[in-house]
Chains A and B, each alone.
Chain A
């Protein structure tokens, strides 16, 4: 027995971090770059950060661009909506691509295929070409899904919320950082001697180049799973190639995915809306300089440094004690509070109060984003990518809808729009109460009376023929590893059920 297991062990690679039976890391060490887990983390957040920088590189330079391209306020608004529309379907497609091809190839492909849109922004010459480049650049925001998928593949249940939260948050940071980076790069180029209408064009090469380089890094340094890449594992038989139709079907028929898509639209979607409108809001309402308004806008996005990771950490911490029910309660509570602060933001009259409320509101909303992706990894095992894609896409749908209803044209003043958006957040967060896992319970109900286990839930995604072929092995291991989502309830000790670490 020992000889056998030793032979198996020598085939299995040694990992720098402690791992579970699926070789997913059970610890999250931020300052390590050890392959494959932490390296995947750093590659994913950096490439996602670059995509965010590219997607929101235009807003801080709009005062120059709008004069060069003779844009009207309507053109600018439409381009803003276009920038977040592309990712709606791109995120769903990305989810499926991750399930089928692995996050490494899927994300690098998208990044390299959207980099041309960023390069072509430099030669935009009209409102239509401007709208088109913003639309196609926005597709790159789908790398969010590959980031979350990759983290969910590399990190085990006790730390998956943290990994998802930190990678998502630090990627989102790009939306804030770009408001500082682009004006700086622009000013530098003008200093060197370029004319303004040429300088902004040259400036766009910076985010484009970084985006391209990050994709190269992902391709050369990353791997899909702790044990290797999809293609290699598929060829060696360690990973079965799944069918698109099955993966897609099991994703879209899971009602929890749809509920999370809706609620994510009212935390992340709201965050994107704020990214697009808040600088103008402060500029107009309080007569600030564009530069100052940009700094305030950036600070809202920069809260992502700790807020979204905080959401992931809170999700994992709450799950230790209360399991999945705790994760759901935390999500509902934080997002509803975000809605309340949003209502307040539209109603405060003074500049300093507005800045404070904006930052508090941003923190709550971004924490809710982190909490959402503490729940997503557990909704489906077979169709993790599709669920991540639906949720991520739902986030963008929320951004499109909110901007269309409240922030297009002059029907509502911006402050009224913000208050109404807050009310909509609270209403659209209520469906979390409907999420129910038979093995763990929901917000108001405990686990199912018929003894339902994690295995029952995850194996229901595979039919008997597939199980005969042994395709469900991955789900089986996952089910075993997430028993801790039951929380510390009477009569059950989660420590006993956790798999032993393989060193």
Chain B
């Protein structure tokens, strides 16, 4: 009776997990090796600099890459850039995890190639923050089954910074200043007109 209850509970948990589609990050084996071109502490510029990533299956690990069908390499926030920013929070359930928000490359997994290389121009919508690079392997059902990352488990080493674009342009600044000046000047213009009208009225 108790064992049946236990099995039912276990099945329920597994069913719940698949219902919520949440693969837990802590359950993934680190079987992929990945390196990225930025050095520790290097500062790159969004929209200008490039990152070269190279990844491959770690042959020395006791695992098989048969189930790997797709691979996605992402740019992920380091803990220092997640402080007081709930929208970048790391959560174990990968369907709710917000650590990695920018995709560098996503493609089918090719087991015959030992080392994949990809060069990525840092897009202009990448914000200013500290990052590392992570790669996920997906099975045919689209679930994460393995990962690799450029930093250590605590996410403290080999982090690099990206300086975002400001989004400001000289034309915007000039327009802002001109319209603001016009706004204030037109107010005083109206005052003068009102005054002269009132003077004219009282003269009459």
Residues of A within 8 A of B129 (CB): 70
In the complex with contacts A66-B87, A72-B83, A198-B169, A123-B176 CB distance below 8 A: yes
B167/A212 in contact, CB under 8 A: no
Partner-binding segment picked from B23-31, B143-151, B182-190: B182-190
A70/B128 in contact, CB under 8 A: yes
Binary B-proximity of A118-129 (CB < 8 A = 1, otherwise 0) = 011011010000
Binary B-proximity of A351-393 (CB < 8 A = 1, otherwise 0) = 0000000000000000000000000000000000000000000
Verify if A287 is at the interface (C-beta below 8 Å from B): yes
Verify if A73 is at the interface (C-beta below 8 Å from B): yes
Nearest CB of chain B from residue A397's CB, rounded to whole Å = 27
B127/A67 in contact, CB under 8 A: yes
* Residue in B closest to A117 when the chains form the complex, CB atoms: B180
Verify if A479 is at the interface (C-beta below 8 Å from B): no
B183/A197 in contact, CB under 8 A: no
Verify if B49 is at the interface (C-beta below 8 Å from A): no
Binary B-proximity of A209-233 (CB < 8 A = 1, otherwise 0) = 1001001100100000000010110
In the complex with contacts A112-B184, A116-B184, A201-B167, A235-B198 CB distance below 8 A: yes
* Residue in A closest to B175 when the chains form the complex, CB atoms: A205
- Identify which of residues 169-185 in chain B touch chain A, using a CB-to-CB cut-off of 8 Å: 169, 172-173, 175-177, 179-180, 182-184
Residues of A within 8 A of B96 (CB): 287
B187/A108 in contact, CB under 8 A: yes
In the complex with contacts A74-B84, A195-B125, A196-B125, A115-B172 CB distance below 8 A: no
Contact of B184 among A108, A113, A125, A232 (CB under 8 A): A113
Verify if B124 is at the interface (C-beta below 8 Å from A): yes
B180/A73 in contact, CB under 8 A: no
Contact of A219 among B84, B190, B202 (CB under 8 A): B190
B184/A202 in contact, CB under 8 A: no
- Identify which of residues 65-106 in chain A touch chain B, using a CB-to-CB cut-off of 8 Å: 66-68, 70, 72-74, 105
In the complex with contacts A123-B168, A197-B165, A116-B183 CB distance below 8 A: yes
In the complex with contacts A72-B85, A196-B125, A202-B172, A236-B187 CB distance below 8 A: no
Nearest CB of chain B from residue A288's CB, rounded to whole Å = 13
Residues of A within 8 A of B187 (CB): 108-109, 112-113, 215
Verify if B38 is at the interface (C-beta below 8 Å from A): no
- Identify which of residues 74-102 in chain B touch chain A, using a CB-to-CB cut-off of 8 Å: 83-87, 96
Chain A facing B: main interface SS: helix
Verify if A63 is at the interface (C-beta below 8 Å from B): yes
In the complex with contacts A73-B84, A197-B125, A197-B167, A112-B201 CB distance below 8 A: no
A201–B85 alpha-carbon span in the complex (Å): 22
A287–B22 alpha-carbon span in the complex (Å): 14
* Residue in B closest to A208 when the chains form the complex, CB atoms: B179
B166/A125 in contact, CB under 8 A: yes
In the complex with contacts A68-B164, A195-B167, A123-B172 CB distance below 8 A: yes
- Identify which of residues 55-71 in chain A touch chain B, using a CB-to-CB cut-off of 8 Å: 63, 66-68, 70
Nearest CB of chain B from residue A429's CB, rounded to whole Å = 33
A67–B87 alpha-carbon span in the complex (Å): 10
B167, B197, B201, B202: most-surrounded residue (chain A CB, <10 A): B167
Verify if B152 is at the interface (C-beta below 8 Å from A): no
Verify if A242 is at the interface (C-beta below 8 Å from B): no
Nearest CB of chain B from residue A59's CB, rounded to whole Å = 14
In the complex with contacts A72-B85, A235-B198, A195-B124 CB distance below 8 A: yes
Verify if A284 is at the interface (C-beta below 8 Å from B): yes
A113–B177 alpha-carbon span in the complex (Å): 13
Nearest CB of chain B from residue A139's CB, rounded to whole Å = 14
* Residue in A closest to B177 when the chains form the complex, CB atoms: A119
In the complex with contacts A198-B167, A201-B168, A201-B172, A108-B128 CB distance below 8 A: no
Residues of B within 8 A of A232 (CB): 197-198, 201
Residues of A within 8 A of B169 (CB): 198
B125/A108 in contact, CB under 8 A: no
Residues of B within 8 A of A68 (CB): 127, 164, 166-167
A436–B85 alpha-carbon span in the complex (Å): 50
A230–B175 alpha-carbon span in the complex (Å): 35
Residues of A within 8 A of B125 (CB): 67, 195-197
* Residue in A closest to B199 when the chains form the complex, CB atoms: A235
B183/A125 in contact, CB under 8 A: no
Residues of A within 8 A of B194 (CB): 105, 229, 231
Binary B-proximity of A30-73 (CB < 8 A = 1, otherwise 0) = 00000000000000000000000000000000010011101011
A236/B201 in contact, CB under 8 A: yes
A119/B127 in contact, CB under 8 A: no
* Residue in A closest to B194 when the chains form the complex, CB atoms: A231
Contact of A115 among B86, B177, B183, B202 (CB under 8 A): B183
Nearest CB of chain B from residue A182's CB, rounded to whole Å = 16
Known: A112-B183, A198-B172. 20 other contacts (CB 8 A): A72-B84, A112-B184, A112-B186, A115-B179, A116-B180, A116-B183, A119-B175, A119-B177, A123-B168, A123-B172, A197-B124, A197-B164, A197-B165, A197-B167, A205-B179, A208-B179, A216-B186, A232-B198, A232-B201, A235-B198
| 11 A-B interface contacts by CB (under 8 A) | A67-B125, A67-B127, A70-B164, A105-B191, A112-B184, A123-B172, A195-B124, A208-B179, A219-B190, A229-B194, A235-B202
A residues near B, CB below 8 A?
Answer: 63, 66-68, 70, 72-74, 105, 108-109, 112-113, 115-116, 119-120, 122-123, 125, 195-198, 200-202, 205, 208-209, 212, 215-216, 219, 229, 231-232, 235-236, 284, 287
